[in-house]
């Protein structure tokens, strides 16, 4: 699946194609693949901007995962 950020097309790396649909998956910057043909310096700049724009969504996932894990730990403590 190809996404668009500003005028640049991007996708997840091939090994992330299934993981991207997992509820708890948090991607790494290296999981991004710029599909558009750009000069190397510009490609890194676009990748940095894209990564920065994804941070609020990634933080939401991190917070949700932490809340679930915390609840699970508390449930375990209450059982004992």
CA distance 75 to 52: 35
pLDDT in tens, 26-75: 999 999 999 999 999 999 999 999 999 999 999 999 999 999 999 999 99
Note the pLDDT of residue 3. Answer: 87
Note the pLDDT of residue 72. Answer: 94
Note the pLDDT of residue 21. Answer: 85
CA 76, chain centre distance (Å): 29
The domain segmentation of the chain, as residue ranges, is 3-79
Nearest to 72 by CA among 17, 21, 24: 24
Whole-angstrom CA distances from 7 to 1, 50, 66, 69, 71 are: 16, 11, 34, 38, 42
């Amino acid at each position: 699946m190809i996404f668009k950020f500003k005028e640049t097309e991007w996708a997840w790396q091939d090994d992330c194609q299934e993981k991207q649909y997992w509820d708890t998956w948090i991607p790494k910057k290296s999981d991004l693949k710029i599909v558009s043909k750009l000069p190397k310096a510009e490609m890194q700049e676009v990748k940095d901007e894209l990564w920065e724009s994804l941070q609020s969504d990634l933080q939401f996932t991190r917070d949700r995962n932490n809340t679930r894990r915390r609840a699970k730990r508390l449930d375990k403590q209450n059982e004992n």
